[in-house]
Structure 1
């Protein structure tokens, strides 16, 4: 059995609905379909979920939301009309309109994009619509109740055979709607794939798999044919956003492969994501390159800092107090550095530095801004001698100064810090060297 999730661009219009149906009809094993809310049809268009968030803001400030709601209605009514569907979506839209008051829960409101899209898609496919709130259950702490969810999903599949489930939300034990992070439909598909032990989890989007580098920086980068969950986590963390990173966990333990596929180019091979790749025929040393700009490095200097028990803990507790996530902690004998997002620390930088001086009694604290982090990631790097040397040599030959170095113990990634102004150049020269 296959779980097939379709992103917002895949269900943005009646034309896209036809593409989805053609894909589903090609394989009878595609019995569970997960849908996002209708997305952008063209550049400058609005996503339905964005409009729903705007309506909620209008409600809180007692501003008219009529134009926004009419825009949503027109989108769904047009799809219904063009596909000649039996479902009268107007009834559902009118029910939603009655709920639009200041007391309307935001989770309920923003989940309606997936809900309404799912109703139309199930009609068009001839599948049974199953509301996510009836089968995807959360505990009150926000974790998934996998035991109850598994039972309810299997019952639905056994009863109806083929189902469409809206993504992005589920329900607490009392039936209250609970939404996930943006992009949560990826997670819905992953959860459903886990509880039925699917043979594969297909994630249909508007890109033909995962690329080795950002196409905004590298012209026509190579596609990654196979990638491990661990490699994808590293690339996602460093900014390569194709699949929601939390969608990996539900399927990881069962080693259910995830396929990233393009709704607009369904014959394209795409990218397969697995826990392990037993017959790895990839000749590439690296799998991909990714990075992010705008980090701040706070370096604390103190004689024999590496020998003082508890010194690092005292420093990290300051960042915890201000709820600032620490990215990396490079260290030396008489100093250690703490790398954080500039955006997270900019408003409290002076407070943090002041407290660090007090709790660590540091001789000197240096703050460095405008740092970029970039990572080269690859399961095959450990098999090749001299990868780090080649990386440093390449950056040096192109006069790119390395401000920080970090490498994971599993040897699947090397992270370097460079100046913001060298970020794109560094990615280009490393791609040319290793890709």
Structure 2
């Protein structure tokens, strides 16, 4: 049994946090491969090391003196080293960084040094082997992640190393220069390492005890989700629930490796287990609720639309021509409604209307702005009768007008459209009926 453990920036922000992480890793012999992030904020007024590196490199690019800023970064690491009482010096590493900044090694190189240096400290602290991600994680000529080459090289490398620290967030280009992942970098690295070592579990340690049924900013003390499938997570993430970036999920999903989201500051909490599929019955009918504000509904009406071959394609071409992506598209016999992001649509609304007239010749085009979309997601909905009815009932009791409802054939999710002003109250009403009262 092999576990890969990834720790976020808040988990590694100070020597005190490092000590917690060390205790967690040493408490389970199966935790053999560690993926660290760069040090995050120690408090609300603090600055993340990655942001400090970006600012420092900006000075270097402008050929201004960056030494003071670089020494501040070194002080952050020295405080961790001294707090852990390690016999380790990063003097030579910082000299190398300074030289590379002067040579304009690139913003990706600068940003990656946060994880790189934290990896060196973590390996020294644990007594694990340090593996530089630039030597085992690769991007191709176009800047895309080279999954096949990475998996081959990384698997061969780690096969010979029983315990290792592999920094998150970066890899290398074909010319050897450093390249970072665009989003969720360390999460992606953890997933790649898990696939390479055929891990039994990928533990993603952060500052929350897993995923919650609803946004805690809207639902205070929202209940945790114990088990969630990849499909459910995808639906919730798409509608704004920030758990893991989908690029971080793909490698482990493909390999059938479960992910456990855990809390560094509450390691005994169960966390959330993310799996391909499960026969475990969900605690509630729904697994989670997520949503976003700021949509426009473009309603396109035309008599006998249903008998006109290609009508939908012509209508959608109007949006494509103007570079506007579509979120949802509920339809009736003589009408179709297209939901788009308001911020994206507002500057191009007249061009879209003109294109719709030219391409589809509709009878009426109607716009409604300031709408929100809410996704109610749950594998348990399939086996429960009247889920949509309960949602409508909850919203009616809360005096909320439903603008749209769209249910996929998989019965995994129901999308509801309401006005922006009703967004928070709608989530509260749905949460209450399914989780609090369970009517």
Rounded to whole Å, the distance in 2 between the matches of 1:375 and 1:348 is 27
After TM superposition, give the deviation of residue 131 of structure 1 in Å. Answer: 0.9
TM-score (norm 2): 0.94
* Partner in structure 2 of residue 327 of structure 1: 327
Deviates more, 1:391-400 or 1:373-382: 391-400
Match in the other structure for 1:53: 54
Deviation for aligned residue 1:22:
0.4
- The structural deviation recorded for 1:346 is 2.8
Pairing 1:281–2:274 present: no
Provide closer, same or farther for how the CA distance between residues 64 and 323 of structure 1 changes in structure 2, counting only shifts above 3 A. farther
The equivalent residue for 2:424 is 424
> Counterpart of 1:409 in 2: which secondary structure?
coil
Q: State the match for 1:341 in structure 2.
A: 341
CA distance in 2, matches of 1:322, 1:52: 38
Q: What is residue 368 of structure 1 aligned with on the other side?
A: 368
Give the Cα separation in 1 of the matches to 2:118 and 2:91. 13
Q: CA deviation at 1:90?
A: 2.6
**Aligned in 2, Cα 1:407/1:101: closer, same or farther, shift over 3 Å?**
farther
Deviations 1:272-318 (A, max 9, x none): 0100113x133411111111111112222222223322232233233
Q: For residue 28 of structure 1, what is the aligned residue in structure 2? A: 29
Q: Which secondary structure state, in structure 2, belongs to the residue aligned with residue 112 of structure 1? A: helix
Report the equivalent of 1:415. Answer: 415
Q: 1:308 maps to which residue?
A: 308
Aligned positions of 1:108-257 closer than 5 A: 108-257=109-258
Distance 1:52 1:344, change over 3 A: farther
The change in CA–CA distance for 1:3 and 1:335 in structure 2 (over 3 A counts) is same
* Structure 1 match to 2:380: 380
CA contact (8 A) 1:77 1:90 kept: no
Shift of 1:409: 1.6
Give the number of equivalent residue pairs: 434
- Corresponding residue SS for 1:285: coil
Aligned-residue Cα RMSD (Å) equals: 1.9
User: Do the aligned partners of 1:295 and 1:370 also contact (CA within 8 Å) in 2?
Assistant: yes
Following the alignment from structure 2 to structure 1, what is the Cα–Cα distance between the partners of residues 429 and 214? 12
Q: Which runs of 5+ in 2 are unaligned?
A: none
CA contact (8 A) 2:322 2:351 kept: no
| Whole-Å separation in 2 of the counterparts to 1:167 and 1:316 | 40
Q: For residues 11 and 416 of structure 1, do their structure 2 counterparts lie closer, same or farther at Cα, with a shift above 3 Å needed?
A: same
Provide closer, same or farther for how the CA distance between residues 408 and 262 of structure 1 changes in structure 2, counting only shifts above 3 A. Answer: same
Structure 1 gap segments, 5+ residues each: none
1:32 CA drift (Å): 0.8
Report the secondary structure of 1:394's partner residue: helix
